[in-house]
Structure 1
């Protein structure tokens, strides 16, 4: 497997490599810092399976660079990895051929889960909690738009939904317990209920079901 990481920040490229090797320990990780370098790397990568693309690197000119890349490798999934994400950015990227959009603020484990989903042929979109408000200089999350909770997630209690959201982010039971000020045994009990309600056999399956369904934690309605 060959994976191309196209980002003009070397720190980002190097930081992603350990997580990408979780997808395949023998993966050949290719680097590119500009659009032209990315296009050259694609030409010399016969076993390319995945492309991670930063929309802001030199030569991109918005989504035009994505369109150029998809024209060269229409059957290779391209995932946008960006530090700036609004709903409009995400929708436009997917309409231009992206197989997913991952904010740089997600945990490494959540990113790996999302990339596994993309490699299985699905499209990954971020939770609404990651969308930023341009009017507030990208500093404040936009409240998710009200939407009906899809089955079987409508069977989850508020607490169970909170725990599932933490699970999708790749957190351990101990980390979830600390974040929610609960006992670890309580987290285990809630997770058993979550698995039963959504039809999951284990932790990994619960994450996959949540990602594939596009489920997001609904906002609290006051």
Structure 2
């Protein structure tokens, strides 16, 4: 399949062997593409900022630094002109449809063959939405999930990173160390994160962000109603 030689594709996946195999497939199947790779969400944030000419992001749902669909929500909010296609080992139709609900331009199972992959790439790069045959695009994400996604989308890039670290259980001093800022700065970010998410504690924030996990454990409404 011939394609503009300037086509730039970012692969975001934490498995180096898969990244290498996917990159080799793209190089063989496309016409001299520029293929960039990153293994975690902070690296993806930096790469997208530094590569405004990117034509497509191929995103795994499991990446260090991001919870489930949260990286997708971030990308579609902060880089709406770059289509994102989820490439995942999860093949449940419900998960594929949730990805579309959160702004994905397509969902490609990792088990897909080369011909299917090329078909999906062509569709998404042409501006269409692509899902495997037999999977419809009927919305499936619930109101609470979409509301939390909207709130996450309103976070600044740094607030998003802080929120992601909170969901991983890191303390303020640990987050400050990782981001090379003061603990007071993190506390200020936390105030804004709580306000935007509509929560009042770190635990509630973690539960809220957890709604964007591939398999959420508990809804925020359920958590609020449970004995504390």
Q: Same fold (TM over 0.5)?
A: yes
* Residue number in structure 2 paired with 1:86: 92
1:38-187 aligned within 5 A: 38-128=44-134
* Residue number in structure 2 paired with 1:173: none
Preserved contact between residue 81 and residue 101 of structure 1 (Cα < 8 Å):
yes
Preserved contact between residue 3 and residue 30 of structure 1 (Cα < 8 Å):
yes
Quote the offset at 1:24 in angstroms. Answer: 3.8
Quote the offset at 1:73 in angstroms. Answer: 1.2
CA distance in 1, matches of 2:115, 2:76: 27
Residue correspondences, number? 129
CA distance in 1, matches of 2:122, 2:44: 22
| Cα RMSD, aligned residues only | 1.5
Q: TM-score, normalised by structure 2?
A: 0.54
Query: Would you say 1:13 and 2:30 are equivalent positions?
Result: no
CA distance in 1, matches of 2:99, 2:92: 11
Deviations 1:41-96 (CA, angstroms, capped at 9, x unpaired): 10111210000000012122011111111122101110000001212211111010
Preserved contact between residue 22 and residue 112 of structure 1 (Cα < 8 Å):
no
Deviations 1:153-184 (CA, angstroms, capped at 9, x unpaired): xxxxxxxxxxxxxxxxxxxxxxxxxxxxxxxx
Stretches of structure 2 lacking an aligned partner (at least 5 in a row): 1-6, 136-228
CA distance in 1, matches of 2:123, 2:130: 7
Quote the offset at 1:112 in angstroms. Answer: 1.0
Q: TM-score, normalised by structure 1?
A: 0.55
Q: Which contiguous aligned blocks of 4+ residues in structure 1 show a shift greater than 4 angstroms? A: none
Deviations 1:170-204 (CA, angstroms, capped at 9, x unpaired): xxxxxxxxxxxxxxxxxxxxxxxxxxxxxxxxxxx
Deviations 1:105-144 (CA, angstroms, capped at 9, x unpaired): 1101210111101111111111349xxxxxxxxxxxxxxx
